[in-house]
Structure 1
Amino acid sequence: MGGGALMTPALIFLGIPPTAAVANDLVAAAVSKSVGAAVHLRHGSPNRQLVKWLVIGSVPMALVGSWIVKEVGAPADRQVFLKVAIGCTLLMTAATYVVRMYLGLVRTVRHNIHVRELVIRPIPTIAVGAVGGLLVGVTSVGSGSVIMVSLLLLYPSMSAHRMVGTDLLQAVPLVVAAAIGHIFVTGIEWSVLIPLVIGGSLGTALGARLSSLVSQSVIRRGIVTVLSLTGLGMIGASPTWVGITGAALIILGPVAWGLVRRAHGVPAFDHFGPPPSAGVRDVDRDDQLPPAL
């Protein structure tokens, strides 16, 4: 999923002002996404026509988003505005992540993922790019999570490999535009940016190794819980309600997801530990549905 959804609030909780957290996270994301997009571009996975229409909508709105932050008012008002905006976006991201999990389950159970010639729908695609661009331009969150789920709904027949490549490639000009806008508003703090880039690179390598050792379903439910609780905290919810929500998600979340899985004819709970052997399908594995980067 998108790094901004976790990195930006983490920086804020470490005491970095929201404006600086957004600006520096966008610059770091521009570096990491450029590397990932270059790899996919070399293998020819992105759909360039789809990327074109997404960028037409996203880049202008990313600049509009940074302009909105600038026009909010005094610096103190910007910090409050960004904190609430990021919190609301995190809650929406958590919801879209649940939708993504469900779509992955349905696609896998039905075995109906067919790669065929894609019919591009320009207007809806531009609209998706515009909404994602505005979210990223204001909060730095949404380039992977929100746009990825929207693409899944618009183009359900698109292969996982091409969707990941397309999402990464369209995210590069999007986050670059948003980063430029926020640099003019806030500037860059090198003491934050350099450790962010180095730590992010090391974390990516470590995460890639650990991901095959942990149940994907557990990881995904954990992400939804963290995003939800973080979002509630940032919009000013009381610790009591945050705690109640967290307990409900931890206790009732697995039960609800298990019931959904059973309704689609698969075991309520997946295996724990390393992925299953060849020939065994795991409906919660990332190779069934492209990750929202």
Structure 2
Amino acid sequence: MIDPLYVVSGFGVGLLVGMTGVGGGSLMTPLLILLFGIHPATAVGTDLLFAAATKAGGSVAHGLARSIHWPAVIRLACGSIPASIVTLFVLWQLDLNGESSRSLVNLVLCFALLLTAASLIFRKAIMERYRSRMQRLDVATTARATVVVGAALGVLVSISSVGAGAVGVTALLLLYPQLPMTRIVGSDIAHAVPLTLVAGIGHWATGAIDWPLMGVLLVGSLPGILIGSYFAHRVPEAALRLVLAATLILVAGNLANRELRSSFAYIAAFAPASAR
């Protein structure tokens, strides 16, 4: 039986993704952890394959519209795919379903959410300050920097499923200031597909995927993305970004508070035994 709450959650996330372009991981993964109590590793793995499925359609649409800068996509992938594989191996060594993995995912997720919020709030200021400097970079330097950015995104996305949206777009805007926004967004989406697919398959190999849950989320999110895309130009972008950034900061605070409480409880439980 399909849980209506999961469908509504998927629809809400899809609606915001369609309206803002921010990666669904920034919204879906914390929602699964905080609201539904799903283990962080399972939430991340499920969301990664969920993102690969939803962004594949967007990538095809951008490809047909010729709004993808493939050199940037290839450079990002050259850094992100190897970094993702290495990160997944480290997570496998830690045991994805263990407490150490839970803490690592929660902490990296908090960092990724705050980074996403900062990129939403300060993107314009960052662009005004560094755009002229980045325009002076030669092609080789830009290519190397893109691979490094891809590697950073590979680590971030593989652990938290967050980073391939607002953070990736901000980085591409800095590195390729000559490209129009449509090609920046198209390139970011195209790169997110192989990255989330590889990372998702890695989580699947360790059993950290809830397939029925992913199917239910897709039922709600796909209509949400279509409707959100339709209303994207009818809602004040600046106000929407500020509200979304504030939401991400609040969610990051709740995750951090939850992790601190869990750590203190763990210490309190073992302190008497160690004292004896």
Contact 2:112–2:162 under 8 Å retained in 1: yes
Contact 1:45–1:165 under 8 Å retained in 2: yes
Q: Deviations over 1:136-161 (max 9, x none)?
A: 01111011222211111111121112
Q: What residue number does 1:76 align with?
A: 99
Give the letter aligned to residue 45 of structure 1.
Answer: S
Confirm whether residue 138 of structure 1 aligns to residue 163 of structure 2. no
Q: CA deviation at 1:208?
A: 2.1
For 1:19 and 1:83, the matched residues in 2 are separated by: 9
How many residue pairs match? The answer is 230
Residue ranges of structure 2 left out of the alignment (5+ in a row): 1-21, 133-137, 261-276
* Shift in CA distance, 182/102, structure 1 to aligned 2, threshold 3 Å: same
For 2:168 and 2:183, the matched residues in 1 are separated by: 14
Q: CA deviation at 1:16?
A: 1.1
Q: Secondary structure at the residue paired with 2:188?
A: helix
Confirm whether residue 194 of structure 1 aligns to residue 194 of structure 2. no
For 1:238 and 1:52, the matched residues in 2 are separated by: 37
Q: TM-score, normalised by structure 1?
A: 0.73
Q: What residue number does 2:184 align with?
A: 163
Give the letter aligned to residue 21 of structure 1.
Answer: A
Confirm whether residue 92 of structure 1 aligns to residue 115 of structure 2. yes
**Identity over the aligned pairs, expressed in percent?**
33
Q: Deviations over 1:180-201 (max 9, x none)?
A: 1111123421221101111111
Structure with the greater relative contact order (CA < 8 A, sep ≥ 6): 1 or 2? Answer: 2
* Shift in CA distance, 212/51, structure 1 to aligned 2, threshold 3 Å: closer
Q: Secondary structure at the residue paired with 1:236?
A: helix
Q: Secondary structure at the residue paired with 1:16?
A: coil
Q: Structure 2 matches for 1:258-269, cutoff 5 A?
A: none
Range with bigger deviation, 78-87 or 94-103: 94-103
* Shift in CA distance, 238/142, structure 1 to aligned 2, threshold 3 Å: closer
Confirm whether residue 48 of structure 1 aligns to residue 70 of structure 2. yes
For 1:211 and 1:51, the matched residues in 2 are separated by: 25
Q: Which is helix-richer, 1 or 2?
A: 2
Contact 1:19–1:79 under 8 Å retained in 2: yes
Contact 2:67–2:187 under 8 Å retained in 1: yes
Q: Deviations over 1:118-153 (max 9, x none)?
A: 946221010010001110011110112222111111
Give the letter aligned to residue 79 of structure 1.
Answer: R
Confirm whether residue 57 of structure 1 aligns to residue 79 of structure 2. yes
From 14, 18, 38, the equivalent of 2:40 is 18
Q: CA deviation at 1:211?
A: 2.9
Range with bigger deviation, 185-194 or 13-22: 185-194
* Shift in CA distance, 41/213, structure 1 to aligned 2, threshold 3 Å: closer
Q: TM-score, normalised by structure 2?
A: 0.77
Question: Root-mean-square deviation (CA), in Å?
Answer: 2.4
From 184, 202, 218, the equivalent of 1:181 is 202
Give the letter aligned to residue 70 of structure 1.
Answer: W
